[in-house]
Amino acid sequence: MDNRVYVGNLAKSTTQEELNTLFAQAGDVAAVEIIKDRDSGQSKGFAFVTMVSKEIADKAVEMFNTYTLAEKELKVNIAKPRVEHA
């Protein structure tokens, strides 16, 4: 899953559409998932954007790490594999 990008330091008001539009500038976006609090349903301030290829994901990291969106500097990098807790 080297084509999955972690996007941190998001404004709570950022929408999936905004992220999709932004990351589409790097190439084709397969999916956008804003992580939300289970109880409140409010954004936790980070998301995962899945790009269609590793090359496009790398380009997105290059383009958008430290990019300012809604007055917040994004932290963008290739997502680490999820670790399941026993």
What is the tally of structural domains in the chain? 1
Q: 86 lies in a domain?
A: no
Q: 12 lies in a domain?
A: yes
CATH of residue 42: 3.30.70.330
pLDDT tier at 81, thresholds 50, 70, 90: confident
**Residues near 11 by beta carbon (within 8 Å), at least 6 away in sequence:** 45, 69, 70, 71, 72
Q: State the pTM of this model.
A: 0.92
- Alpha carbons 47 and 36: distance in angstroms, whole number: 9
Average pLDDT over residues 9-35: 97
Which pLDDT tens digit goes with each residue over 40-67?
999 999 999 999 999 999 999 999 999 9
- Alpha carbons 56 and 37: distance in angstroms, whole number: 29
Q: 56 lies in a domain?
A: yes
Q: 83 lies in a domain?
A: no
What residue numbers bound the domain in which 62 lies?
4-78
Q: 17 lies in a domain?
A: yes
